[in-house]
Chain A
Amino acid sequence: ETGVTQSPTHLIKTRGQQVTLRCSSQSGHNTVSWYQQALGQGPQFIFQYYREEENGRGNFPPRFSGLQFPNYSSELNVNALELDDSALYLCASSLAGAVVREQYFGPGTRLTVT
């Protein structure tokens, strides 16, 4: 059973640029959630994807968007990067239909916006 993987590990971008982060879900999981974790804070929910559609969204602006592919992998896209977007971005997968639907996290992508 393979765990959740994310790429890249680290990324440095300039304000105003666009970035794409990638996530492969754990084997057998069909739901992917994305979180932003600022330094010293807990993860904040960005959105979730299920069956290739957005299935819930947190308090993030539309410049945060995503995709889910038929193999359940996912992308997080952020346009017009701002300095406050600097954070650890975590991807988590889960199995829709399971009773508890606990989430399993990837190692994260550290994004720095300068």
Chain B
Amino acid sequence: AQTVTQSQPEMSVQEAETVTLSCTYDTSESDYYLFWYKQPPSRQMILVIRQEAYKQQNATENRFSVNFQKAAKSFSLKISDSQLGDAAMYFCAYRSAAGNQFYFGTGTSLTVIP
């Protein structure tokens, strides 16, 4: 089974600064999708950004961007100009292109310091 590893249980960032959350994954497949989800204290998981493995260009969504290194099986999330509302648990997730199951990491708790 695929595994997703988030090695940073907790991170903090000053408001308006930039922070990078790390994620690595293990797979033998070549076609898959990667996601970052945000889970605020309200519990609802919100999709932040997604990356198709066949695309070399890194995905960006406003202040959120990823650094996708396919050979290294690394998928980090960069949050620029951090805002207080960015404080949440962030989960990295993997899905095979041929499968239905999402595999999640254990999450990184992000604190934004005013």
| A interface, CB within 8 angstroms of B | 31, 33, 35, 40-45, 48, 50, 55-56, 58, 88, 90, 92, 99-108, 110
Contacts and interface: CB of A to CB of B under 8 A. Distances in A.
A104 B48 CA distance: 11
Interface stretch (B11-19, B62-70, B79-87, B100-108): B100-108
A56 B44 contact: no
11 contacts: A31-B100, A35-B104, A40-B107, A41-B107, A48-B100, A56-B99, A102-B47, A102-B50, A103-B47, A105-B44, A108-B44
Nearest to A44: B104
- What size tier do the contact residues of chain B reach? 20 to 34
A58 B101 contact: yes
A56 B96 CA distance: 13
B108 to A, nearest CB: 10
Given A42-B91, A100-B50, A102-B35, A107 B43 contact: yes
Given A48-B100, A100-B52, A42 B43 contact: no
B45 A105 contact: yes
Contacts of B35: 102
Given A102-B35, A102-B50, A33 B102 contact: yes
B78 interface: no
A55 B20 CA distance: 35
B100 A42 contact: no
Contacts of A92: 45, 102
A108 B107 CA distance: 17
A100 B4 CA distance: 18
Nearest first, the 7 A-B pairs at minimum CB distance are A42-B104, A105-B45, A56-B100, A107-B44, A45-B101, A48-B100, A108-B43
Contacts of A58: 101
